Amino acid sequence: MSNQTRVRKAVFPVAGLGTRFLPATKASPKEMLPVVDKPLIQYAVEEAYEAGIRDMVFVTGRSKRAIEDHFDTAYELENELEQAGKQAMLELVRSISPADMNCLFVRQPRSLGLGHAVLCAEPLVGNEPFAVILADDLMVGENGGPGVMAQMTAAFQKQGRSLLAVQEVPLEQT
């Protein structure tokens, strides 16, 4: 497997206004909405990481600073947990952004849609294969199997072609 056929970067278009989730998203990014004990965006990043992707490219917009803060090192918090002897909690906080994971941020200057957001990632992605993950579309592997992104990267390595994951939704749920 050559590096050229391996997906090493994931693009997360997170610049949108989250209007479908109003009023919950009026002051908080929809990607930071919690599902059980983690924000949506963390599930998406974990899925990419599980698939072997280590470069996470976030295309952000105004009022999305919470996403950057979430994946940044929180020295003060880590120090507080360490001083309090809360080792399990400290490890949990550190696991949000593993040492071998790179978080890169680029701003979408104007809200011109999903395609434009992905295009804004071009300077960070270059001419290599990459994944696009929509954090508000939470998908999990069946029966504890590999996640959707792991399945897609494996298929890409075999086929070397662009792939698109879809999920059938009953008409009454649309």
Measured CA angle at 16 (ends 13, 21), to 5 deg: 120
Pick the CATH number of 3-69+101-173 from 3.90.550.10, 3.20.20.110, 3.40.50.2000, 3.40.720.10: 3.90.550.10
- Give 118-144 pLDDT, tens digit per residue: 999 999 999 999 999 999 888 776 777
Q: What burial letters (b/e) apply to 114-139, b meaning 16+ CB within 10 Å?
A: eeebbbbbeebbeeebbbbbbbbeee
- Give 52-95 pLDDT, tens digit per residue: 999 999 999 988 999 999 999 999 999 999 999 999 999 999 99
Per-residue 3-state assignment (H helix, E strand, C coil) for 69-85: HHHCCCHHHHHHHHHCC
Distance between CA 171 and CA 88 in Å, rounded?
44
pLDDT at 1: 46
- Give 23-45 pLDDT, tens digit per residue: 988 889 999 999 999 999 999 99
Band of pLDDT at residue 99, cut at 50, 70 and 90: very high
pLDDT at 173: 85
Q: Where are the domains of the chain?
A: 3-69+101-173
